[in-house]
Structure 1
Amino acid sequence: METKNIILIAIVAIAIVAIAGAIFFTTGGSGNNVMGESTKFSNAFMEGSFSGNAKLVNNSSEYMQSYKDEKHDITYNISTVDNSTALMDIYYVQGVMNPEKRSFNGNDWNIYFSQAVEGNNTNKTLNIIICQCQKEKQGYLVYMIIGSDTDLNTTALNTYGEVYKGYVEPLLKSLTLKESKKVPAINEEFGLTSDQFAQQMNLVKQYKAGNTSALDSSSGAQ
């Protein structure tokens, strides 16, 4: 059990990095987008349009891209894996839960609103919106990270606020999701075998079912 819990700690740690550390590929500066401007994009697994002027800043992986809207201090990380639902179950352990549900173009989306501290600066907060859609053969993820220098109104970080209405909903409505031939396996993203990952997801499942003691011993693992 101790070995399993060590692995679980690693999974959760990576999950936190995926959310709070998603700004790794961002850049500073100011943009020149105007009201009504949009940016079209297309890759091997998804195509659509961002509101505003969002420039590609990382394309090192076929199944993950990062875009930056510098004027509004927004970073978009888009990716695909075989099982995005499992990833959201891991995030649940960290308090990312109770998504809003919306359907656009036949795609059912879970929309999560969260926050994280920017680096070690406790005075700067990142507002994070995660959109997740699981299809039959693969899952799709859109991370929208709103930096502390944004000029957008993030007071109402929900489906009634400016950010969702002006940026998230138009993006989701524009998306065409493509089926990929070689989708990254979620267990491999964490450096685990399928059996190891299944063991950890069993602990997460127990936790979600109310058995919080399933993770208790992980805090004392060495």
Structure 2
Amino acid sequence: MENKNIIIILVAVIAVIAIVGVIFTTGILNGNDNQATSNFKTEFMEGRFTGDVSLVNDTHAYMHSYEDKQHHITYNISTVDNSTALMKIYQFQGVSNPEKRTYNGNDWNIYFTQAIPGNDSNSTSDNTMSIVICQSQGEKQGYLIYAIFGADTDVNSTTTAFGEGYADYIEPMLKSITLKESKDVPKINEEFGLSEDEFAQQMELIRQFNAGNRSALEGAQ
């Protein structure tokens, strides 16, 4: 009788192990509606997207574009020597102040903004895209991720940075990311077609304007 009970227990344990194996191989407990994940790897960053995401453009070594066609989400991933300066320019142009998050030892600033494609004055609010920008500045270079939720996305709560889009798509991605130092990192001043001195002058004008000196930009015109 004791041997029979042992056999029953072993059969039950084997059945549980088999069920667990099915769960992990099929992704039943992966969350986010059991969506698949897509790995990505560049010279300066690697990680994992939620959903079926594919590379659509890697013409430049420092900029890669990926697309989730099912949910109409585009991810633009890039690196530059001074991403902090770039974000100061964006903030000057109206991008909201960031929330700070830390994942895997990487400090991220999370920005949220909205835009209408092509700045078409005839466009309506129905064409509005929601954009979440994730920025992290390392010792030698900065890292940027632009997650663009198209106007026709089926992801809800993209009217704020930390809605469904962030919880289900952006945060899991940030938790998976490894940042790497890379070669030939583009300089922010060159991206704007300016010398280092010219760019420094522009940044000083923005600093003065943000400090309350509204005449700083008028004097520069």
The TM-score range, normalised by the shorter chain, is 0.7 to 0.9
Report the number of matched residues: 185
Deviation at 1:156, TM superposition (A): 4.5
Of residues 176, 197, 211, the one that matches 2:213 is 211
The aligned amino acid for 1:190 is F
Secondary structure (helix, strand or coil) at the match of 2:86 reads helix
Secondary structure (helix, strand or coil) at the match of 1:87 reads helix
Find the counterpart in structure 1 of residue 178 from structure 2: 176
In 2, Cα distance between equivalents of 1:36 and 1:126: 23
Deviation at 1:154, TM superposition (A): 2.9
The aligned amino acid for 1:98 is N
Q: Against the structure 1 CA distance between its residues 35 and 96, is the aligned structure 2 distance closer, same or farther, given a 3 Å change threshold?
A: same
Deviation at 1:99, TM superposition (A): 0.5
RMSD of the alignment, in Å? 1.4
Deviation at 1:214, TM superposition (A): 1.3
In 1, Cα distance between equivalents of 2:50 and 2:196: 38
Find the counterpart in structure 2 of residue 78 from structure 1: 77
Find the counterpart in structure 2 of residue 125 from structure 1: 128
- Indicate conservation of the 8 Å contact 1:35/1:52, yes or no: no
Find the counterpart in structure 2 of residue 53 from structure 1: 52
In 2, Cα distance between equivalents of 1:107 and 1:52: 23
The aligned amino acid for 1:131 is C
In 2, Cα distance between equivalents of 1:212 and 1:104: 37
The aligned amino acid for 1:89 is K
Of residues 152, 173, 177, the one that matches 2:155 is 152
Unaligned 5+ residue runs, structure 2?
1-32
Deviation at 1:94, TM superposition (A): 0.9
Q: Against the structure 1 CA distance between its residues 155 and 196, is the aligned structure 2 distance closer, same or farther, given a 3 Å change threshold?
A: closer
- Indicate conservation of the 8 Å contact 2:130/2:159, yes or no: no
- Indicate conservation of the 8 Å contact 1:127/1:154, yes or no: no
- Indicate conservation of the 8 Å contact 1:47/1:175, yes or no: yes
Q: Which has the higher contact order (CA 8 A, sep 6+)?
A: 1
Q: Against the structure 1 CA distance between its residues 98 and 215, is the aligned structure 2 distance closer, same or farther, given a 3 Å change threshold?
A: same
Higher Rg of the two aligned structures: 2
Range that drifts further, 202-211 or 104-113: 202-211
Secondary structure (helix, strand or coil) at the match of 2:194 reads coil
Residue 103 (structure 2) pairs with residue 104 (structure 1): yes
Secondary structure (helix, strand or coil) at the match of 1:202 reads helix
TM-score by length of 2: 0.80
The aligned amino acid for 1:72 is H
Deviation at 1:213, TM superposition (A): 2.0
Deviation at 1:182, TM superposition (A): 1.8
Q: Against the structure 1 CA distance between its residues 58 and 187, is the aligned structure 2 distance closer, same or farther, given a 3 Å change threshold?
A: same
Deviation at 1:193, TM superposition (A): 0.7
Q: Between the two proteins, what is the percent identity of the paired residues?
A: 61
The aligned amino acid for 2:189 is N
Deviations 1:155-195 (A, max 9, x none): 55232x11010011001100000001221100011111111
Find the counterpart in structure 1 of residue 63 from structure 2: 64
- Indicate conservation of the 8 Å contact 2:110/2:161, yes or no: no
In 1, Cα distance between equivalents of 2:159 and 2:206: 30
Deviation at 1:207, TM superposition (A): 1.4
